[in-house]
Structure 1
Amino acid sequence: MTQQPLEPGQAPAEHPDAVPLYGPRYRENPAEIFSELRRTHGPVVPVLLEGDVFAWLVIGYRELHELMGDPQLFARDSRIWNQWPNIPPDWPLMTFVAYQPSILFGEGPDHQRRVDAMSGALSEVDQFELRARCEEVADALIDGFAGSGEAELMTQYVYSIPVMTVAWMMGISTTEIDGVARDAVAALDGGEGAPAAYGRLAATMQNLLAAKRAEPGPDVTSRMLAHPVALTDEELVPDLLLVALGGQEPTALWIGNTLHLMLTDDRFSLTLSGGRQSVGQALNEVLWENAPVQAGLGRWATRDTQLGGRHIQAGDALLLGLAGANADPYVRPTSGPPANNAHLSFAHGSHGCPHPAPEIAEVIARTAVEVLLDRIPDVILAVPAEELTWRPSFQLRGLLSLPVKFSPVPATRS
């Protein structure tokens, strides 16, 4: 039996305790919220998205692994969503659910050919050259504030490194980098300006394709154009958007959250002058404890089923509670974060982060942290840690600002 559409603001009658998954309560400590939800509701939680739209949040590790590993039962095709009658055209999360013929929403052989083209293009990125480019970008950014003894790292450093590096990988003109960075942040924040920002990014990718078709180069865009699967422009534009968005915002927040950990936790801050030995551990710990992507839309049930003891109806939306699953006692040691990489922060299954994107993101993040600590070994927070403000997003976890101070150092270039 198909679920009847709900009135706006109405939780399903069978789930009157559905939890609003929006608002400022997600700023400070989402880990506590996920723990509370697990105690109260179990591994699959009834929630309300912005506009009080009903969905399921999956925060059990086993349940989320099952969901992501069964695309036949939990599909990426959002057109089967039973809540479409309640969704206004300007819904803030529309960019994450509006179906488009992209790698994000594809299924079966069509999806695989898109993955092949993207993975093939990314696998040809020379990671030694990538690190050298990251070092060059990082040094140039640090030169801009090194002599002042203070900086706001999120805007002056953290956000710039991934977008400048990914733009170089994709062959995007340096004159367009700042606009791409602003639009990427706006699109992923899911606010009122998200649809317009996403549209501007799509136009940028269309122009990039035209330029690379006319004059190919040693870049990801040109390699995707030349791949044997012969993707059309209509297929390439959304897939290139995924490369740009996936490579920018989550990587920037991974860098920012790692710097935050190393500047606030004595286990790391005591070794900042020799921080390079601790960077890998900090990067991995952040993916377990403070992942940049906390949750995401999503999957849609193709038929009535059971998950985590819940009755899921055909067409129900399910959110990937990545951070909640990482905190599941089922996979956690009795104390401290795990030392392995069995976290789900890069998702899993056919729609997980495509190879070798996680490795590329790690090169960028590790280089950004290491270069900063090498250049400014005595960097400390300029404000008490409790005064730092986090973004109010259930999907992304990152600081609005990260002010620091340090002993002024000379620029690397005169």
Structure 2
Amino acid sequence: MSEHNTAHGTAHGTADAPAPVPLSGPRFATEPATLYREMRRDHGAVAPVVLDGDIPAWLVLGYRELHQVTGDPALFSRDSELWNQWEHIPADWPLLPMIGRKQPSILYTVGERHRQRAAMISHALEAVDPFELKAHAEQFADELIDGFCGKGECDIIADYAMMLPVRVLARIYGFPDEQGPGLVSAMNDMIDGRERALAGQQHLAGSMVGLLAAKHTAPGEDVASYMLQDPSGFTAEEVAQDLMVMMAAGHQPTADWIGNSLRLMLTDDRFAASLFGGRHSVAEAMNEVLWEDAPTQNVAGRWATRDTRLGDRHIRSGDLLLLGVGAANADPQVRTDASVLTGGNSAHFSFGHGEHRCPFPAQEVAEVIARTGIEVVLDRLPDIDLATPAAALTRRPSPWLRGLTDLPVRFTPTPAL
């Protein structure tokens, strides 16, 4: 019998081997670090897992193995058409938006066309003036804080972190400011994954089509116009797909980066001094979060283009490999001591690796928005403090993204600007 069981043709485990791990359940929210350690202990660097509906996959837990998978697109492809499980996937499978088939966006394009699309996105984002970007982030941060600063308390996730990134992105992409609030609602509905998720996705898609039609007629100094003017000859539909990916990938992880960093600074004594005027520790807290509490925990995925071996596992052609970002960042073989978190060490996987990593200009945009968002809060509300015990804070129940459900804070009421 092969290492896979044969439930869906490719499987995992023999009679004497530990059973595959369901990639769901509360422990991904409550104690992921412990869960990943147990998976590494029981299964090694590459663990068999099952997705919703008992669909088998592999979770790559090892740092070196993840480096290998993301660095070899010929063997581990981004082309989801290769998956050997499609015949078992129902039309209403809840993970389809994440592992979609025949999606024309940059996420699933491979080879030379992918390199052209990545270059188009990078060039468009590089054209954004970093000083203007910071000014936009400061303006929207101040407007949001004006909405609650007189109350002396708020939920910094719902009232601030989940509002800021998409407003800034909407402006630099070229949307009129009055469309910003609707885009915030649509994006957050999509992320919630509940009954309004599809309506949110449709609102976002329709907004992108309208934006590109307007920019085709009257181009501006904005990301959408730069992408439409790219000489590689992408269609408006391709540009719209990539803008939707950029909006989704830029908003939620950045919102969680803000929330997770503020949680760390409000609960860890090492950062207490920085809450009273220090700036140095904001960058340290943000970097530590990327190692210890990464907004993106697990990513789907890569598909094996042929039979191979990885981490002492037999990987069959068409098998799905999930990228265990959170687990790999904590791999004890590379994390030998805490010094890895200091001095700006950014060898984590939180922005990915290889040709499908987050483009460097997109990383810079996210960092400017997140850092500005955190600094403006600390400047405006200098005595901000948790309004609930740290142990009572809860996470969204997702194995994919790691963010707080809420972060109640209190502060001395101050007048709006």
With the length of structure 2 as denominator, give the TM-score of the two structures.
0.94
Gaps of 5+ in 2: none
Partner of 2:81: 79
For 1:32, the equivalent position in structure 2 comes to 34
The one of 250, 254, 259 aligned to 1:256: 259
Aligned to 2:388: 383
Deviations 1:67-118 (A, max 9, x none): 0010000001101101111111111110111131221111111111111111
Q: Is the contact between residue 71 and residue 355 of structure 2 (CA under 8 Å) also seen in structure 1?
A: yes
Deviates more, 1:269-278 or 1:154-163: 269-278
Looking at structure 1, the residues matched to 327 and 282 of structure 2 have their Cα atoms a distance apart, in angstroms, of 24
Listed as ranges, the matches of 1:300-319 within 5 Å are: 300-319=303-322
| Cα distance between partner residues in 2 of 1:105 and 1:192 | 26
Q: Tell me which residue corresponds to 1:185.
A: 188
Q: Please say if 1:282 is aligned against 2:322.
A: no
Counterparts of 1:46-125 in structure 2 under 5 Å? 46-99=48-101, 100-125=103-128
2:403 match:
398
- Residues 164 and 243 of structure 1, relative CA distance in 2, 3 Å threshold: same
The Cα of 1:338 is off from its aligned counterpart by 2.2
Distance in 1, Cα, partners of 2:218 & 2:274: 48
CA RMSD of aligned residues (A): 2.0
Amino acid at match of 2:328: A
Cα distance in structure 1, aligned partners of 2:199 and 2:34? 34
Q: Tell me what 1:333 maps to.
A: 336
Partner of 2:167: 164
TM-aligned CA deviation for residue 190 of structure 1 = 4.8
The answer to which of 315-324 and 22-31 deviates more is: 22-31
> Is the contact made by 1:252 and 1:365 (CA closer than 8 Å) also made in structure 2?
yes
1:7-18 matches, within 5 Å, as: 12=12, 14=14, 17-18=19-20
| Superimposed CA distance per residue, residues 141-182 of structure 1 (whole angstroms, 9 cap, x where no aligned partner) | 111111111111111111111011000011123333233223
Distance in 2 separating the partners of 1:37 and 1:410 = 51
Q: Structure 2: which amino acid aligns with 1:64?
A: L
Instruction: Please say if residues 18 and 43 of structure 2, whose CA atoms lie closer than 8 Å, have aligned partners that are also in contact.
Output: no
Task: Calculate percent identity across the aligned residue pairs.
Answer: 52
Structure 1, residues 332-360: CA drift from partner, whole Å, max 9, x if none? 13236522111010001110001211111
Relative distance call for 1:195 and 1:264 in structure 2 (3 A) is same
Shift in alpha-carbon separation, 1:378–1:228, aligned structure 2, 3 A: same
Q: How far apart are 1:389 and its partner, in Å?
A: 1.3
Do the aligned residues in 2 keep the contact of 1:53 with 1:83 (CA within 8 Å)?
yes
Q: What SS does the corresponding residue of 1:350 show, helix, strand or coil?
A: coil
Q: Could you state the TM-score of these two structures normalised by the residue count of structure 1? A: 0.94
Q: Which amino acid aligns with 2:363?
A: P
Partner deviation per Cα, 1:14-65 (whole Å, 9 max, x = no partner): 4761100112221112111111111111111100112221100001000000
Please name the residue that 1:351 is paired with.
356
Q: What SS does structure 2 have at the residue aligned with 1:89?
A: coil
Counterpart residue identity of residue 133, structure 1: H
Q: Kindly provide the amino acid, as one letter, of the partner of residue 350 in structure 1.
A: E
What pairs up with 1:200-211 in 2 under 5 angstroms? 200-211=203-214
Deviation at 1:208, TM superposition (A): 1.4
CA distance in 2, matches of 1:204, 1:351: 26
Q: How many pairs align?
A: 410
Determine the structure 2 residue equivalent to 1:409: 414
Partners of 2:182 and 2:309 lie apart in 1 by 44
Judged with a 3 Å threshold, the aligned counterparts in structure 2 of structure 1 residues 172 and 150 are, in CA distance, closer, same or farther, namely: same
d(CA) in 1 for partners of 2:151 and 2:365?
Answer: 32
Residue of structure 1 in register with 2:347 after alignment: 342
SS at match of 1:349: coil
Instruction: Rate the CA distance shift 1:93–1:194 in 2: closer, same or farther, 3 A.
Output: farther
Between 1:367-376 and 1:33-42, the stretch displaced more is: 33-42
